[in-house]
Amino acid sequence: EVQLLESGGGLGQPGGSLRLSCEASGFTFSSYAMTWVRQAPGKGLEWVSAIRGTGSRTYYADSVKGRFTISRDNSKNTVYLEMNTLRAEDTAVYYCAKDRFGYPGDAGFDYWGQGTLVTVSS
Amino acid sequence: QSVLTQPPSTSGTPGQRVSISCSGSSSNIGTNTVNWYQQLPGTAPKLLIYSNNQRPSGVPDRFSGSKSGTSASLAISGLQSEDEADYYCAAWDDGLNGVVFGGGTKLTVL
């Protein structure tokens, strides 16, 4: 059974940092791209970042480029999202999702975690 | 404002057929496949349709997808109360080099 378990959410200060983790199980982790999608309170879904299964290439939404860094440790079946220079508009539930293929694209996300809430406020 | 355009809401009665549209451009829907997600209240999204019209295992055949040019559509036939949810379309955008979502459509079953 595929499981994705996010952690690391909480209260962050404007200009501060948070690190999200997503531990995966139930599939060959290194064979699949992984993606972070966020959802602000009462709003729709927003794609944030993705990383290839090999970790060789990363992708970012313009809204987070230069502030967020995605990475993965295939030996620990875990993908990370390092969030720096936090802004109020980064407040959202952050979902970790498994891509259907080894590289990000239009294949779709077939499994999602339960999400972790990030609140940016002073 | 979302890159893909969906109607904010739609509704139907049990047993009815409803359709949700998703409009994009040549850089996303026009050249890449479309996926649809269902988000039940208080839960994570779930993949409903991939590659324009393919259903993952376990998704009822009441759900179907189609694509034509730069637009796509999700149809739900035999509407049931448990179908009440938010529905999102998504596609890869070659210009943005990332996934773009529609703003979501809230389906109400009357």
Query: Does residue A103 surpass a pLDDT of 90?
Result: no
A25-39 average pLDDT score: 97
Residue A50 corresponds to which tokens in the numbers above?
A: 């993705």
Q: Report chain A residues whose CB lies below 8 A from the CB of B33.
A: 106-107
Residue A104 corresponds to which tokens in the numbers above?
A: 């990000």
Query: Do B37 and A113 lie within an 8 Å CB cutoff?
Result: no
The sheet with strand B63-68 has its strands ordered as B18-23, B71-76, B63-68
* Coil/strand/helix, residue A96: strand
- Single out the residue of A81, A47, A43, A42 nearest to residue A62, CA to CA: A47
According to DSSP, the β-strands at B71-76 and B18-23 are antiparallel
The upper half-sphere exposure of residue B86, i.e. CA atoms within 13 Å in the direction of its Cβ, equals: 17
Residue type, A67: R
Residue type, B45: P
Query: Does residue A105 surpass a pLDDT of 90?
Result: no
Q: Report chain A residues whose CB lies below 8 A from the CB of B45.
A: 37, 45, 95, 109, 112
User: Pick the residue with more confidence: A104 or B84?
Assistant: B84
CA angle A55, A114, B88 (to 5 degrees): 85
The upper half-sphere exposure of residue B75, i.e. CA atoms within 13 Å in the direction of its Cβ, equals: 12
Q: How far apart are CA A51 and CA A99, in angstroms?
A: 10
pLDDT in tens, A60-94: 999 999 999 999 999 999 999 999 999 999 999 99
pLDDT given for residue A102 in this prediction: 86
For the stretch B14-43, what's the b/e string if a residue is b when 16 or more beta carbons lie within 10 angstroms of its beta carbon?
Answer: eeeebebebbbbebbbeebbbbbbbbeeee
Q: Report chain B residues whose CB lies below 8 A from the CB of A108.
A: 35, 47, 50-51, 90
pLDDT given for residue B89 in this prediction: 98
Under a CB-based contact definition with an 8 Å cutoff, are residues A96 and A4 in contact?
Answer: yes
In this structure, what DSSP letter does residue A71 have? E
pLDDT given for residue B48 in this prediction: 98
* Nearest CB to A45; choose among B45, B97, B98: B45
Q: Report chain A residues whose CB lies below 8 A from the CB of B90.
A: 45, 47, 108
Query: Do A112 and B33 lie within an 8 Å CB cutoff?
Result: no
